[in-house]
Structure 1
């Protein structure tokens, strides 16, 4: 859904900070067989160097040329998990409303906490997670947030930072976090996606990747532009905020989830959902289709 909802329901579960920290870092020793997001240098396209072949370098140049003609401002991070190459575009470190992309971070944290026994996810909780991921259901997200954000409301946000979203900031800064009112950067979403792929327990990772591949048709854009042959999975986010629409997409594509892509587009009053989703989809297509 497009509009984040505020809810006044009080959280019902508090988890000690030490337990939440353990949930965030426990799976650092569960490799996926590909390079971690940590300590991978930014790559450049000149001379087809630093891990990118000449085809991908050309694709990056094409995507950037396309963005020069598009309304709004788009930042993205492309990662090749096989070679370790990373490309961060000009606006990759700029803060943008997360919209519903943060639901991927919520799902990861809940599964991590359940894995170490910090919480027990019942069938109803699992159903809410699936609704949150498949149709981007806001009401399901509200229920999970209120139940598992802790007495101080910081349980999720503490885990988000530990799981790679180091720039994530509740809005307004210093306020009690709510999932629908936060800002992050494309680089944050890139680190989050890498954390899911590289550090989650294999069973939980497989469950979450399956949900990301089976999203409802309302999310068949953004990273979905990589094309069916690349077996993409994603979590998209779209909302109209102060300053205009934001239209974001984070996900993976390719054999063994070789490529990850995080795109955040701020329309800045120059367009809306349609223009933003078209931009995100075309960037993904130019970068990944046919790879």
Structure 2
């Protein structure tokens, strides 16, 4: 990549203030800046659009690319918000989760089991209950479309939202729930080992992915949100509207996984 092009890419993928009020932005080392430029150049070379938010939880630095605020179908990523909500409602006594409920929650996180998510969504209040609290967990940009059923699978959201959601999991939940969800996301089924998983085994990644070819134009959506690094130092949110119909799932898996690899694989941090 030429020097001028790299400079332009780095400027476009600028360091921005952190999304959480009171959290200062912070400088990063040159290696990570170069990685960010390479990641954005790669994203620009791929079909469709990809929103990217990378957060260093140790330094407070947050990188957002120009598509971080673009609304894209969330697919299965709100299953993580559902788990957060159910755990907190159980704590408050508003609901009492059974052994069956906890098995369903495991299945929707481990292998992204849609049937399990549908049962929990319906059993515990659907849109009226879950959706009114989702913004409190970070999904502030979310909205439904009246062209589709109002449930977890048909929510429009942004990479910014997913960044806030994984941040809520890691910083706001009681420790027992945080440890549970980190363990679940680190041990997902092979069908979810892509996207943030591209950070590499040594980074001990964990993620909740979402994918579907039910985009309005029939193309694939491939999303991934999770963490990597010691003590889950880095969080990464990726939302990829591939705009590819045939083999769009393969295209999206490659796009999101490669971005995570460029950003985090082998990076030890400053």
Please give the range of the TM-score, normalised by the shorter of the 2 chains: 0.7 to 0.9
Q: CA deviation at 1:42?
A: 8.5
Aligned counterpart, 1:166: 140
Q: CA deviation at 1:52?
A: 1.5
Distance 1:149 1:85 in 2: 37
Distance 2:144 2:95 in 1: 24
Is 1:156 aligned with 2:135? no
Unaligned 5+ residue runs, structure 1? 1-35, 44-49
Task: Please give the TM-score of this superposition, normalised by the length of structure 1.
Answer: 0.81
Q: Is the 8 A contact 2:24 2:60 kept in 1?
A: no
Distance 1:74 1:132 in 2: 24
Distance 2:19 2:184 in 1: 22
Distance 2:243 2:222 in 1: 11
SS in structure 1 at match of 2:40: helix
Q: Is the 8 A contact 1:154 1:177 kept in 2?
A: no
Instruction: Note closer, same or farther for the CA distance 1:213–1:170 as it changes in structure 2 (3 Å cut).
Output: same
Alignment match of 2:232 (pick from 245, 248, 257): 257
What is the root-mean-square deviation of aligned Cα atoms in Å? 1.7
The structure with higher relative contact order (CA 8 Å, sep 6+) is: 1
Number of residue pairs matched?
Answer: 247
Distance 1:42 1:261 in 2: 18
* 1:29-178 → structure 2 map (5 Å cutoff): 38-39=20-21, 50-149=26-125, 153-172=127-146, 177-178=150-151
Distance 2:62 2:190 in 1: 29
Unaligned 5+ residue runs, structure 2? 1-17
Which stretch shifts more, 60-69 or 184-193? 60-69
